[in-house]
Amino acid sequence: MWFYLALAVLLYFLIRLYRETKIVENLTEKYVFITGCDSGFGNKLAKQLDIQGLHVLAACFTQKGAEELERLTSDRLKTTILDVTSTESVAAATEWVKEHVGNKGLWGLVNNAGIIQPVGPNEWMTKEDFEKVLNVNLLGLIDVTVHMLPLVRKARGRIVNVASILGRLSFYGGGYCPSKYGVEAFSDSLRRELQPFGVKVAIIEPGYFLTSMTNAQYNLDCLDLQWTSTPQEIKDSYGHTYFNNFYKSLKENLNSRCSTNLFLVTDCMEHALTSQHPRTRYSGGWDAQFFFVPLSYLPTALADLILTWSWPKPAQAV
């Protein structure tokens, strides 16, 4: 019995592997729109798809980012400026995409734009701190998707939403984890709605990656400002030692535990766009595949123990 069960599992994975090697035809005729291309995953993916011969429509937040990306890529790649928190900017970008794709429609939409800060214990946050992250990571993503959907449906194309492994396990406070949980929920409902139209929706769940030292330092500076503006009563409850240890722990994670190999994520994005049979979810990074994903299936009490065993203790903890 166990032999036949093992054989069935092996056969399943062999068939799956074969299906995933089948590539979409006429890729050089297809258009892909990517948000957040100034740096990080979006920038790397735009260059990667440009090399593959696709028509890349790259949205950057700054003019400087757009000019630098155009300088390093072929004439096929076009850039535009996009602020995903502005519906007017999203609508303008949609019209710009329409002009480029014409009757072909949009084969790929990659919702990559996102921010992480401010982070820290939830009690240190204000409503505005949460809104800042949610407006970019979740509401901006939804706005872009809804505007671009008619173009994607026309091409019977792909939507690739960048969530996070922290959309499975909420590890720290602030708006980042709730926003990524929201991306997961939105993507799941979208996938089921669009299946009859032949549109496929994939979720990318990166682990810990360091996209630039500047962004990492900004996160740390943000945490310092967060502590400074926290009411004194809350400061007394946590204590300055807690803040110092939290700051130190975050810095160590950014400097030593984050991968700099962005291809572990952009290769997943490329596969979701170019494979005839893309996966529903991609876990980008070894930590995501071999630590966080298995951890997410453990009993909650055990997962909590593993995630919090090294956390600092507040001054007034029981």
Residue 8 in this model has a pLDDT that exceeds 70: yes
Say if CB 143 and CB 67 are below 8 A apart: no
* Options 176, 181, 238, 282, the catalytic residue: 176
Long-range contacts, 77-83 (Cβ 8 Å, 24+): 77/46, 77/50, 79/37, 82/35, 82/113, 82/144
The better pLDDT of the pair 228, 137 is held by 137
Residue 254 tokens read as 């950014």
The residues, ordered by sequence, that sit 6+ positions from 102 with a Cβ below 8 Å of its Cβ are none
Instruction: Provide the β-strand partners of residue 160.
Output: 110, 202
Instruction: Provide the β-strand partners of residue 282.
Output: 204
Q: Is the peptide bond before 150 cis (omega within 30 degrees of 0)?
A: no
Tally of CA atoms within 13 A in the half-sphere of 293 that contains its CB: 15
Model confidence pLDDT, tens digit, residues 221-238: 666 667 777 888 888 888
104-128 average pLDDT score? 92
The pLDDT-based confidence of 10 (bands split at 50, 70, 90) is confident
User: Which region among 106-115, 207-216, 303-312 has the lowest average model confidence (pLDDT)?
Assistant: 207-216
CA 154 to chain centroid, in Å, comes to: 25
The residues spanned by each domain of the chain are 25-210+260-288
DSSP codes, 168-203: TS--SSBSHHHHHHHHHHHHHHHHHHHGGGT-EEEE
State yes or no: is 12 an active-site residue. Answer: no
Q: Does domain 25-210+260-288 have CATH number 3.40.50.620?
A: no
Element (H, E) at 59: strand 55-60
The pLDDT-based confidence of 214 (bands split at 50, 70, 90) is very low
Residue 206 in this model has a pLDDT that exceeds 60: yes
The better pLDDT of the pair 305, 257 is held by 305
* Confidence at residue 242, expressed as pLDDT on a 0 to 100 scale: 82
pTM of this prediction?
0.90
Residue 187 tokens read as 């993507």
